[in-house]
Amino acid sequence: MIPGTPFLAVDKVVLLSNIEKMARHCSQQGISLRPHAKTHKSFEVAKLQLSGGASGITVATIGEAEVFARAGIKDIFIAYPLWLDSSKLARLKKLKRKTSLTLAIDSIEGAATLAPLKRIKVLIEIDSGHHRSGVQPELAGALAKKAALLELNPVGVFTFPGHSYAPNAKSLAVRDELSALGEAVKSFEREGIACQVVSTGSTPTAKKTKGGLITELRPGVYVFNDAQQLELKNCKANEIALWAEATVVSKTGRKLILDGGSKIIGMDRASWSTGHGRLLDFPEARITALSEHHATVMFGTKSKIPELGDRVRVVPNHVCNAVNLVDELYPVSDTGFAKPWKVRARGKNS
């Protein structure tokens, strides 16, 4: 049964097209595609990605990996510098019997907590300009060597060029990731270690990334897209596959209140965003304020304005955090709503 508003709907035709386009790009470039499953957290979407040519999936947490391994996914990269306590270590020991697992390190101290997982594949995280986790590129080889001494199996490097999430930053981020990954590969060579995997990826940079040095892409958001990607001109409105169905519950002049708030679309708002999400069918409207259950929407003087009780489609700024708020996604096509998809990895933070 379709729930009352607000709920998250997915346009299956657009979703499939987004999956197909990214797979084609990677195939043309000779790059493996390992989509980040934190965006959708659901078996159904992961299976569409894999049958569309993805080589495996990326996740952010052990809990997400456990969920997807249960679904039979046989190749999972946890793209996060884990720090293992005894409980997390025990979970990973169990997990690596079920799936081919690759882990991430950015410090020798962190690597030491993974050491009991003898010969587990690890990628060295490098900082390509986002300045979050990751070592400087030229230090990757040295860390790989130390990891090998701990009996880990360093097979390559990865980065997240997250500084691509800003206006006009895409080309710079692509150059940065290429240059940083090139440095990292050289540092592996200096240590005499084979760098088999050179992995990167963000939705803004993905389609500008070329094959050659880079062996693997890990975009996440592209499956659904969102208001951030729209405003950064990384997608068109007709490439947005997910929105919150919401109802106009209050109206005063050109101001509407929708029942879709931060508990359904999330509170992400970058400094460059024009509002707290966008209305798919009213491109000129702006969400000027967001409470937990209220979106305040302003319309221009010449706009057509929805009426009280009307349904509208609200595109979240950041789709990953929106999906993480709900237990189910409602796939919709010409024939109406189909059976909901469970967001099985929702809330699997640890």
Instruction: Tell me the number of residues near a second copy by CB under 8 A.
Output: 60
Contact 15, 221 (CB under 8 A): no
Residue 44: other Cβ atoms inside 10 A: 20
Of residues 262 through 321, those in contact with a second copy by CB under 8 A are: 262-264, 266-269, 289, 291-294, 296, 308-309, 318, 320-321
Smallest gap from Cβ 25 to a second copy, in A, equals 24
In the list 60, 122, 221, 312, the residue contacting a second copy (rule: CB under 8 A) is 60
| Residue choice 116, 162, 182, 211 for contact with a second copy (CB under 8 A) | 162
Give least dist CB 163 to a second copy, A. 11
CB 157 within 8 Å of CB 199? yes
**Tally of residues, the chain:** 350
Assess contact for 170 and 204: CB atoms under 8 A.
yes
Give yes or no for residue 106 binding a second copy (CB under 8 A).
yes
Q: With binding defined as CB under 8 A, does residue 159 bind a second copy?
A: no
Pairwise CA distance, residues 318 & 266, whole Å:
7
DSSP string across 69-87: HHTT--EEEEEEE----HH
Q: Which of 177, 259, 287, 306 binds a second copy (CB under 8 A)?
A: 259
Smallest separation (angstroms) from a second copy to the CB of 267: 4
Per-residue tokens: 232: 């950064």
Cis peptide before 316 (omega within 30 of 0): no
Binding-site member from 27, 107, 215, 274 for a second copy (CB under 8 A):
107
For every residue of 257-292, DSSP letters joined together read EES--HHHH-----TT-SSSSEETT-TT-EEEEE-S
Beta carbon of residue 211, minimum distance to a second copy (angstroms, whole number)? 27
The residue ranges that bind a second copy (CB under 8 A) are 1, 3-7, 38, 60-62, 80-83, 85, 87-88, 106-107, 109-110, 113, 131-134, 162, 247-251, 255, 257, 259, 262-264, 266-269, 289, 291-294, 296, 308-309, 318, 320-321, 324-327, 347, 349-350
